[in-house]
């Protein structure tokens, strides 16, 4: 498909989606949400892609809503449709059947931070900043962040991040459990791609089941989790990838999984 606000390509099993509005620091519009959602569908359906990586062109990941684009001529209905667009995309990231890596190469603010937090892995350049300024400017949070943030950093720290609206860097984000890794800005995208490639080498069905179970475990009882795990183990045992994993272990080689 042809896109105007994003760039999309699949290389070595990684479906890379780049926000492509660098002149506006990749601020989001209705069109960007629509195209991003379409690209996620394309990546999920592509058997050659094992992992999705999202990042931004230029010096920002995404600075949130493009206020200039929303300034005039928008009805209350238009505004609600736009806001719901973010909710749809963030829920999609959380429920996508493939792991999602957010490579935060610069500012990730507001909706940009929420998109990054909805991903399975959050990587940051050492000069990047992430923050949730909504309450500080009379706005409110979206993208499921009120559900997700306390699960990541605990309720006390979530309150601090939301009420103060302060931007934090990669080292602090990793320290509090908001981000997974921080890499030097010089060569950051290459490091993020290498991280994504390591995930792409794992067994697709196993990753899909692990993502679903980890995201839902907090809402399930122990017995429900044990049942889901048992069903998962039984299912993957019927796949060719399971046999490949066993054979590779016995032969002391790296397994080559095919999603079969």
For residue 70, the model assigns a pLDDT of: 66
For residue 115, the model assigns a pLDDT of: 97
Each residue's pLDDT, cut to its tens digit, for the chain (260 residues) gives: 789 999 999 999 999 999 999 999 999 999 999 999 999 999 999 999 999 999 999 999 999 988 776 666 678 888 888 888 899 999 999 999 999 999 999 999 999 999 999 999 999 999 999 999 999 999 999 999 999 999 999 999 999 999 999 999 999 999 999 999 999 999 999 999 999 999 999 999 999 999 999 999 988 999 999 999 999 999 999 999 999 999 999 999 999 999 99
260 as an active site residue: the answer is no
For residue 71, the model assigns a pLDDT of: 64
Which residues are CB-contacts of 249 (< 8 A; sequence separation ≥ 6)?
255
Catalytic choice (114, 166, 229, 244): 114
134 as an active site residue: the answer is yes
For residue 79, the model assigns a pLDDT of: 82
Give the C-alpha separation, 97 to 212, whole Å: 8
Looking at the DSSP assignment, which residues form a beta bridge with residue 8? 17
Give the C-alpha separation, 231 to 88, whole Å: 29
Task: Please name the residue that has the structure tokens 């080498």.
Answer: 201
Q: Which two tokens stand for residue 159?
A: 């309150």
φ and ψ of 3, to 5 deg: -120, 155
Give the C-alpha separation, 169 to 191, whole Å: 17
Looking at the DSSP assignment, which residues form a beta bridge with residue 19? 6, 56
Helix, strand, coil share of the chain (percent; to 5): 50, 15, 35
Alpha helices in 76-167 (DSSP H): 76-95, 111-117, 145-153, 155-164
Catalytic choice (35, 57, 86, 134): 134
Evaluate the CA torsion angle 7, 10, 14, 15 in order and state its sign. Answer: positive
Going from the C-alpha of 92 to that of each of 1, 159, 167, 186, the distances in angstroms are 19, 25, 25, 31
Give the C-alpha separation, 99 to 74, whole Å: 35
Please calculate the CA angle 43-237-249 and round it to the nearest 5 degrees: 90
φ and ψ of 140, to 5 deg: -140, 165
Q: Which two tokens stand for residue 27?
A: 């601020």
Widest Cα–Cα separation across the chain: 65
CA Rg value for the chain = 19
Q: Say if CB 20 and CB 5 are below 8 A apart.
A: yes
Q: Say if CB 22 and CB 58 are below 8 A apart.
A: yes
Sheet holding 168-169, edge to edge: 60-62, 107-109, 129-131, 168-169
């Amino acid at each position: 498909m042809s896109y105007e606000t994003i760039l999309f390509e699949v290389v070595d099993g990684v479906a890379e989606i780049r926000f492509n509005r660098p002149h506006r620091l990749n601020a989001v519009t209705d069109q960007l949400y629509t195209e991003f959602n379409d690209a996620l569908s394309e990546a999920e359906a592509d058997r050659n892609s094992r992992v999705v990586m999202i990042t931004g062109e230029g010096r920002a990941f995404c600075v949130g809503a493009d206020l200039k684009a929303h300034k005039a001529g928008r009805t209350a209905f238009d505004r609600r449709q736009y806001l719901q667009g973010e909710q749809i995309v963030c829920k999609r990231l959380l429920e996508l059947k493939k792991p999602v890596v957010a490579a935060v190469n610069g500012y990730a603010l507001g909706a940009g931070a929420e998109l990054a937090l909805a991903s399975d892995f959050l990587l940051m350049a050492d000069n990047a900043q992430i923050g949730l300024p909504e309450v500080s400017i009379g706005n409110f949070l979206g993208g499921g962040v009120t559900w997700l943030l306390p699960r990541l950093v605990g309720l006390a720290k979530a309150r601090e991040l939301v009420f103060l609206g302060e931007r934090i860097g990669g080292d602090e984000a990793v320290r509090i459990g908001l981000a997974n890794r921080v890499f030097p800005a010089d060569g950051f995208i290459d490091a993020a791609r290498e991280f994504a490639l390591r995930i792409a080498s794992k067994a697709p069905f196993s990753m899909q089941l692990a993502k679903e179970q980890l995201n839902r475990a907090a809402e399930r009882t122990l017995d429900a989790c044990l049942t889901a795990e048992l069903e998962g183990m039984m299912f993957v045992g019927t796949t060719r990838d399971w046999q490949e994993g066993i054979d590779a272990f016995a032969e002391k080689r790296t397994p080559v999984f095919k999603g079969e």
